[in-house]
Amino acid sequence: MAEQERVLLARPVRYILPDDLRFEGLAPSQGKETVRIRFSRRGGTTLEIPLSAEDLALLAQCLAPLHGFPPNEIPAELEQLRRNVGFLDD
């Protein structure tokens, strides 16, 4: 059985996700959100991030410029987008 932990994001705390997360795909909605994005870790732990329609649209807009780039070129393209478009920096 999968381990489930709920993280309340309403508090003004910044969360850093583990570096070993692997994107698995889209998970079925549980009725409160439009879609869930599923990630997994070694050892069988999964993470699902629920997204509203508005959040999904914003994510798609941010990622659209990366469409068609091979994975090895994406880091450089992201850096270019940060400089030109003004992605949020730490």
- pLDDT tens string, the chain, 90 residues long: the values are 455 666 666 666 666 777 888 999 998 888 888 999 999 988 888 888 889 999 889 888 888 888 999 999 999 988 888 888 766 555
Q: Which helix (H) or strand (E) holds 78?
A: helix 74-85
Contact 21, 39 (CB under 8 A): yes
Quick check: 56 and 37 in contact, CB under 8 A? no
pTM for this entry: 0.65
DSSP label at residue 34: S
Token pair 């795909």: residue: 25
75 residue type, one letter: P
